[in-house]
Chains A and B, each alone.
Chain A
Amino acid sequence: MTDDEFAAYQSLSEETGDHRWAFGTGFTDPLEGIDASVPDSVDAAALAAYCLMLGDDALVYSHRLQQWMTRMPELEEETALANIALDLLGQARMLLARAGLAEGALADGNGRQEDQLAFFRDEHEFRNVRLVEAPDADFAELAGRLLIFSAWRLALFGRLAESADPVLAAIAAKGVKELTYHRDYAAQWVIRLGDGTSLSHGKMQAALGTIWPLVEELFETDPVTAALPGVAADPAGLRGDVDAVLETVLAAATLDRPGAAPMARVAGKSGRDGVHTEAFGYLLAELQSVARAHPDATW
C-alpha cells in the first residue's frame, strides 16, 4: 500500500466516537454548548410551538423513510435513503431540543427533553403536516413525496436562516445543505420515472395524483407562525419558490401537474392543529412503543 492509499484507507476505516452512530441511548444533547437563551423580542411559548411543528415534520417523515429500509429496490438506493432519513432525524432532534429549551425559558416553564417530546406525546399533540404521515404505496410515491417535502422545507429553511432566533437560524442554515441534496435526489428519480418507460411514467403520474391533495396544507398560514414575525416564515410566501421547482422538474419528467382538490380539514383543523389521518396512529404506535414499554431504558 502506498502512503496515499493508506491515508484513504485510514480515513475510511477510522474509528469515530459513538455519538456519530444512530443506535443506543446516551446521546449528547444536540444543542450542547450553544447559548440557548431566547431573545427578549421573541415570544418563547410561540417559539416552542413553532420548533415543535417543524421538528414533528422531520421526526415523522424520517420514521416513514426508515420504514423503507430493507425494502428499497437497490442496495445503493437504500443507503441514500437512510442518509436522508438520518439527516431529518438530526433536524428533528435539534428542533425538539430547541422547543424544550424555549419551554424552559417560560416563567412557569419546565422544558421537556427531546425524548419526552418524541416518545411521550399523544397523537393530537403532534403538529406535523399530514403530508409526512401518509405511507408510500410504491417507490414513485416515495420519490414524489420526498420531492415536494424537500422543495418546500428547503424554501422554508432558506428563509429561517435569517430568523431572529439565532438557534433556529443556525439549525436552518445547517439544514439547507442537507435539504438541497434531498431535493436533488428526489428530483432525479421523479425525472427518471416520469421520462422513463410508459409503465414508470404512468406510476409516477398516479403517485403525484395521490400525494397532491396533501400539498395545499403546506402553504396554509397558522396562528403560531403569525405570532412570530421576524422569527418564523409565512408558509403562504413559499408557494412561488416551490411551484417554480416543481414546474421545472415536472416539465423535465414529462409529467402533468395534478388537479386534485386539497384534502378537507376536519372541523376546520388539520395537521398543525393536531388533527391527523388514520395512518398516523399506527406510525406513532410503532415509533413510541419501545420507549413507552421500557421508560428510561438504556442500552
Chain B
Amino acid sequence: MEEPQVRSGWPLYEVFLRAKRGLNHVHVGSLHAADSQMALHHARDLYTRRNEGISIWVVAARDITASSPDEKDPFFAPSGDKVYRHPTFYEIPDDVPHM
C-alpha cells in the first residue's frame, strides 16, 4: 500500500452559502480542511451554526482565478461611463424580488 503524503498544513477553502431558495450562493468566508468533504463538514460547523444556510458550496482557494488589482483600470474603468448598459430605463414590477 502506498503511504499517503503527510502535509504540514491543510489547504484553504472558500465557502459559499445560500440562505434560502431563490437567492444566490454568497461568499461568507474561508477555512482549512484536508479535502473537500472535510471542508463541507467544517463549513457546516463554522458558518451555519445560526441557521444561516440551506446549501453550501466549498471551493479550493487555489482553484480560484482572480483578477489582479494592477489590472483594475483596463478591466473595470472602461465600463464606468457607459450608463446605457444599466437596465435603469424601465420599471421593475413590484412582485419581482431580489433585483
In the assembled complex, which residues on chain A have CB atoms less than 8 Å from the CB atom of B31?
76
In the assembled complex, which residues on chain B have CB atoms less than 8 Å from the CB atom of A185?
41
Quick check: B26 and A197 within 8 Å, CB to CB? no
Q: How far is the CA of A75 from the CA of B30 in the complex (A)?
A: 12
Q: How far is the CA of A20 from the CA of B46 in the complex (A)?
A: 16
Quick check: B3 and A197 within 8 Å, CB to CB? yes
Which of chain A's residues has its CB closest to B9's CB? Answer: A74
Q: Does B85 contact A (CB under 8 A)?
A: no
Q: Does A296 contact B (CB under 8 A)?
A: no
Question: A16 contacts which of B4, B19, B41, B50 (Cβ < 8 Å)?
Answer: B50
Q: How far is the CA of A147 from the CA of B4 in the complex (A)?
A: 24
Q: How far is the CA of A7 from the CA of B20 in the complex (A)?
A: 10
B6 to chain A, nearest CB (A): 6
A8-B52, A11-B19, A11-B52 are known contacts. Are A79 and B46 too (CB-CB below 8 A)?
Answer: yes
Question: A4 contacts which of B23, B45, B46 (Cβ < 8 Å)?
Answer: B23
Interface-forming stretch among B32-40, B60-68, B69-77, B87-95?
A: B32-40
Range class of the B interface residue count: 20 to 34
In the assembled complex, which residues on chain A have CB atoms less than 8 Å from the CB atom of B52?
8, 11-12
Interface SS of chain A: helix, strand, loop or mixed? Answer: helix
Question: A173-195 CB contact bits vs B (8 Å, 1 = yes)?
Answer: 00000000000110010001000
A265 to chain B, nearest CB (A): 38
Quick check: B41 and A188 within 8 Å, CB to CB? yes
In the assembled complex, which residues on chain A have CB atoms less than 8 Å from the CB atom of B46?
76, 79
In the assembled complex, which residues on chain A have CB atoms less than 8 Å from the CB atom of B49?
79, 83
A76 to chain B, nearest CB (A): 4
In the assembled complex, which residues on chain B have CB atoms less than 8 Å from the CB atom of A80?
41-42, 45
B27 to chain A, nearest CB (A): 8
Q: Does A198 contact B (CB under 8 A)?
A: yes
Q: What is the interface of chain A, defined by CB distance below 8 A to chain B? A: 3-5, 7-8, 11-12, 14, 16, 20, 74-77, 79-80, 83, 184-185, 188, 192, 196-198
Q: What is the interface of chain B, defined by CB distance below 8 A to chain A? A: 3-4, 6, 10, 17, 19, 23-24, 26, 28, 31-34, 37-38, 41-42, 45-47, 49-52, 98
6 A–B contacts from the bound complex (CB under 8 Å):
A11-B19, A11-B52, A16-B50, A74-B10, A188-B38, A197-B4
